Amino acid sequence: MGNTMQGFQTGVNLGGWISQFRNGVKEHFDHFITEEDIKQIASWGLDHVRLPIDYNVIEDDQTPFQYKEEGFAYIDNCIKWCETYHLNIILDLHKTAGYAAFSLNENRLFEDETLQNRFLSLWKAFAERYRHYGKNVVFELLNEIVEPNSDRWNRLSKRAVDAIRSIDKNRVIIIGGNNYNSVNTLRELDSIDDENIVYTFHFYEPHLFTHQKAGWESLMKECDFVIPYPSGNEEYQKYISKSDCFQRAYDFEDHIDKETLRKYLQPAVEFMKDRNATIYCGEYGVIDYAPFESNLRWHEDICDLLLEYNIGRCAWTYKLMSFPLVDKDSKVLDERMIKIVSKR
């Protein structure tokens, strides 16, 4: 990556801790990620973590605009641990009042000025709290926007940048594109005249392979065949035998390999060149239902491509969440995967 995000070349997400948690109780928050986990991540040779954060860890809907120190303490501790073990950190707002990509029925953010003000106020609180940190702490405005187009997100993200800049002039800020941070919507993002803006995308292509049998996607439950990587005509014939609805939902080709992944990446590469912008792959990964050897091969290819294009990356995810590098006790599942995702 360019100078904008030195030290964010290869990382891992801390999903499931203070975001997308099943049980928001103190015992979970105290034990899901600890200093020992950060120490282990650093030992792999990674240089950063991305910390997904749900707003309700630090703000209750009953008392909006009032922030909970006990919630902020988990973020503070993670930053401190990262400093101890020489890791950088991205603070990723994964869910804000009125919006979460994993529950789109809640999406009221873009119609409700009060919810937008809560979003902006929260970022001002982050900016104020962490203003004295250096380039080791980066802000990511909001995870995986899903909107009919990018217009409303362009307006709100600019307001958020202005809110942060009113307090912190130089903090690196990450903005993602529409449709779950798709590479294909990066070009819809407005240019912002600010040298500390970075644009992000997520990479789970082809979705039919990386999310096969995902229980949270109703159509995926119908996918009764295993998809390897690379894959060829045999899998393609099984794919085209499915319903039209299935085919409209998932793009798949008669041959999937490294060059197919390169093709999927091209909109991001072109955006980077056209805008002279820094871009970053904030999530990539494969569900644990996929054949593991295929999982390894896919990771090897995408990591090699991102290295080739000098695009920083962050694996999804460290623990559990169907995309794990370690088990519930933080034990590494396969050292070969660690070697791949930490490659520089």
The verdict on whether 283 is a catalytic residue reads yes
Q: How far apart are the first and last CA of the chain?
A: 12
* Catalytic site residue from 140, 205, 283, 300: 283
**Which one of 59, 144, 147, 205 is the catalytic residue?**
144
Between CA 319 and CA 56 the distance in angstroms is 21
- Give pairs for 226-233: CB < 8 Å, separation 24+: 226/290, 226/291, 227/290, 227/294, 228/291, 228/294, 229/256, 229/257, 229/286, 229/290, 229/291, 229/294, 229/295, 229/297, 229/298, 230/255, 230/256, 230/257, 230/258, 230/297, 231/255, 231/256, 232/256
Residues 6+ apart with CB under 8 A from 233: 254, 255
Amino acid identity of residue 92, one-letter, is D
Cβ-count burial of 55 within 10 angstroms (0-12 exposed, 13-18 middle, 19+ buried)?
buried
What letters, b where the CB count within 10 A reaches 16 and e where it falls short, cover 150-167? bebbbebbeebbebbeeb
The set of catalytic residues is 144, 283
